[in-house]
Structure 1
C-alpha cells in the first residue's frame, strides 16, 4: 500500500480495558502510515489499559466515547482482541449497536483474535467466512459463521485473523478493504 492510500479516511479502533496491545498498535500504525486518521473509540472516557497477553501493557487515551460516536462518521472499524476487552464490549448495548451500524452501512470491519466475540453479539456473522482465536470457533459456528483456521480470512469487507502472529497479513488485508470502501454484501 502506498503512503497515501487512505488519505481523508477515518478509521475507528474500538477497545476497552484488557485489549491485546499489539492488536491495537500495529493496525493503528498501518492506518496512520496509509494516511488515515485512527480514532480510539471506547465506552470509557479516559484511558484504556493494554495487555501483553496476561501482563499489563501501556495505557492509551480514548479519542471518542462510543456514546458520542456514529458509524456514519467513519470509513472502517478495527476490533482488537484480548480476552477481557471483547467480553466487556459485547455486554454494552451502545457498543453492539455501533458495531452493527458498520455492517448496515456496508463498511469494512477488521476483527482479530477474540475481537469477533463482539460481532457475534451484533448478530452479523451468520453465513460469513471468518477465523478467530481457536476458543471462539464453537461460538462463531453456533452463530452461523463458517470458521476456518487460516492466517487471514476476508468475506465481503469483513477481515478476520487468529492472533498477533497474523498481524502482517491482517493489516495488509485491512488496509486493502478500507481503501476499497463500501461493500454491497457487507450487511447486518
Structure 2
C-alpha cells in the first residue's frame, strides 16, 4: 500500500495532448499530495490541444530517456488524438509503458490513450473503456470494451473523455493506495 501523499506519479505526454486530460489530473493528483512529473520525449514544454485548436503549454519535468518504470508508483496517459498517435510510434515510449505495466503498479489511460495500451500489447483479455471512436481498435486487439466512465482491470484504469476525469482521478488515487498488483501477467 502507498499513501497518495508519498506517491510519485508520471504523466507521459507529448505535443497534442488533450488539454484537460493532462492539466486536470496533474492538478488533482498534486492537490491530493502526490509528487507528479510530466514526462515527455523532449525537454522544455509540450503544447496541448484544447477541443479544436492548440491549447496551453505545460512544462516538462523529466525527459523519457532519464526515467524508468521503477521511479514511479503510477503512470497516467492523457489522450487527445495527436498525443497518443505520436507516442505509439516511439519505441521508447511503448517500451516504457510495457515496462511500467509489468511492475504491477497502476497504469491509467483516458480517451484515445488506450491506443498506447494496444501498441504495447496490454489489452488482450482486459476490460477497458475509451473514447468511442477507438472502441473497434480495442475490440480488434482483444479487449472487452465497455461504455463506462471508468473501468479497472488489475490496476489498469481507463476512462472515456474529459467528463470522466473526476472518476478517473479518484480511481487512480484508490489504486495507488491499494498498491502493486502482483498477479498481473507479464508481457514481453
Q: TM-score when scaled to structure 2?
A: 0.95
Residue 14 of structure 1 aligns with which residue? Answer: 12
Task: Assess if the C-alpha contact under 8 Å between 2:3 and 2:176 holds in 1.
Answer: no
Counterpart residue number, 1:26: 24
Gaps of 5+ in 2: none
- CA deviation digits over 1:87-141, x for unaligned, max 9? 0000000000100011111110110000101111011111110000011111111
Q: Does 1:119 align with 2:117?
A: yes
Contact 1:18 1:82 in 2 (8 A): yes
1:129-148 correspondence to structure 2 within 5 Å: 129-148=127-146
For 1:45 and 1:184, the matched residues in 2 are separated by: 33
CA distance in 2, matches of 1:76, 1:124: 16
Determine which of 46, 49, 58 is the counterpart of 1:48: 46
- Separation in 2 of the partners of 1:61 and 1:168? 23
Q: Which residue of 1 aligns with 2:87?
A: 89
CA distance in structure 2 between the partners assigned to 1:31 and 1:5 by the alignment:
12
**Which is further off, 50-59 or 123-132?**
50-59
TM-score, with length taken from structure 1:
0.95
Query: How many residue pairs get matched?
Result: 185
DSSP-derived class of the 1:59 partner: strand
Cα-Cα RMSD: 1.2
